[in-house]
Structure 1
Amino acid sequence: MGCRFDITVVAVNEEIGYINIDEAVAEIRRIEKMVSSWDPDSETALINKNAGIKPVKVSVELYKLIERAIQISEITDGAFDISYSSMDEIWKFDGSMTYMPSKEMIKNSIAKVGYEKIVLDPEGHTVFLKQKGMKISFGAIGKGYAADKTKELLVSKQVVAGIINASGDLTTWGTKASGEKWLIGIANPLSKNKIFSWLPIVESSVATSGNYEKFVIFDGKKYTHIIDPRTGYPSQGVNSVTIFAKSAELCDALATAVFIMGKDAGLSLINQLGGTEVILVDSNNRIHKSSGILLDNNP
Structure 2
Amino acid sequence: MFSFLILFIAFSAIGCTEEIPEDETYATEDEESLSGPFFFLNSVMDVRIFDEDNDTEEVRRAISKEVQRIESLMTMRDMNSDVSKINENAGKEPVIIDKDTFHVIERSLYYSEITDGAFDITVGHLVDLWGIGTEDQRLPSEEEINLSLSLIDYSEIELDKKNLSVFLKREGMMIDLGGIAKGYAADRVTSVLAEHNVESAIINLGGDVYVHGDRDNRDFRVGIQDPFSDRGEHMGIYNARDKSIVTSGNYERFFEEDGVTYHHILSTKDGYPVQNNLVSVTIISNLSIDGDALSTAIYAMGIEDGLNLVNNLDDVETIIVTEDKEVYVSNGVMDFFTISDDSFNLKN
CA 1:236/1:298 → structure 2, altered by over 3 Å: closer, same or farther?
A: closer
Over the aligned positions, Cα root-mean-square deviation in angstroms equals 2.6
Q: Which moved further from structure 2: 215-224 or 18-27?
A: 215-224
Query: In structure 2, how many angstroms separate the alpha carbons of the residues matched to 1:90 and 1:80?
Result: 18
With structure 1 as the length reference, what TM-score do the two structures score? 0.90
What is residue 148 of structure 1 aligned with on the other side?
187
Q: Which residue number in structure 2 is paired with residue 188 of structure 1? A: 226
Displacement of 1:214 in angstroms is 4.1
Give the match for residue 311 of structure 2.
271
- Code of the residue aligned with 1:65 in structure 2: it is V
Of 155, 158, 170, the residue aligned with 1:116 is 155
Q: Does 1:57 align with 2:93?
A: no
Query: Which consecutive residues of structure 1, in runs of 5 or more, have no partner in the other structure?
Result: none
Q: Of residues 237, 244, 254 in structure 2, which corresponds to 1:198?
A: 237
Contact 2:265/2:300 (8 A) holds in 1: yes
TM-score computed with the length of structure 2 as normaliser: 0.78
Task: Return 5+ residue gaps in structure 2 as ranges.
Answer: 1-40, 342-348
Return the alpha-carbon distance in structure 1 between the equivalents of residues 67 and 127 of structure 2.
29
Note if contact 2:234-2:340 (Cα within 8 Å) is conserved in structure 1.
no
Q: 1:266 to 1:46 in 2, by over 3 A?
A: same
**1:110-145 C-alpha deviation (Å, 9 max, x unpaired):** 121111111111222210011112111210000110
The equivalences for 1:30-109 within 5 A come to 30-87=69-126, 89=128, 91=130, 103-109=142-148
Distance 2:188 2:299 in 1: 25
Which one is further off, 183-192 or 99-108?
99-108
Structure 1 distance, partners of 2:240, 2:168, is 39
Kept after mapping to 2: 8 A contact 1:186/1:195? yes
**CA deviation map 1:118-174 (0-9, x unaligned):** 111122221001111211121000011000011012102211121111112222221
Superposed displacement of residue 191, structure 1:
0.8
2-structure distance, mates of 1:33, 1:109: 26
Q: For 1:248, which of 288, 307, 319 is the aligned residue? A: 288
Question: Which residue of 292, 296, 299 corresponds with 2:338?
Answer: 296
Indicate the residue corresponding to 2:297 in structure 1: 257
Counterparts of 1:144 and 1:277 in 2: how far apart (Å)? 16
Quote the Cα distance in structure 2 between the aligned partners of 1:96 and 1:173.
Answer: 36
Distance change in 2, residues 1:50/1:166 (3 Å): same
The answer to whether the 8 A contact 1:223-1:236 is kept is: no
Once the two structures are superposed, what CA deviation does each residue of 1:21-66 show, in whole Å capped at 9, x if it has no partner? 2211211111111111211111221111111111011122221221
Question: Which has the bigger relative contact order, CA under 8 A and spacing at least 6?
Answer: 2
Q: Is the 8 A contact 2:214 2:241 kept in 1?
A: yes
CA distance in 2 between counterparts of 1:220 and 1:65 reads 38
Cα drift, residue 213 of structure 1: 4.9
Cα distance, 1:188 vs structure 2? 1.2
Moved more, 165-174 or 143-152: 165-174
Task: Give me the whole-angstrom Cα distance separating, in 2, the residues matched to 1:105 and 1:136.
Answer: 17
Distance 1:136 1:276 in 2: 26
Within the alignment, does 1:12 sit opposite 2:52 as a pair? yes
User: Aligned equivalents of 1:95 and 1:13: distance in 2?
Assistant: 42
User: Runs of 4 or more off by more than 6 Å in structure 1?
Assistant: 94-97, 217-221
In the alignment, which of 34, 50, 67 is matched to residue 28 of structure 1? 67
Decide whether aligned partners of structure 1 residues 88 and 255 sit closer, same or farther in structure 2, where only a CA change above 3 A counts: closer
Q: How many residues end up aligned between the 2 structures?
A: 297
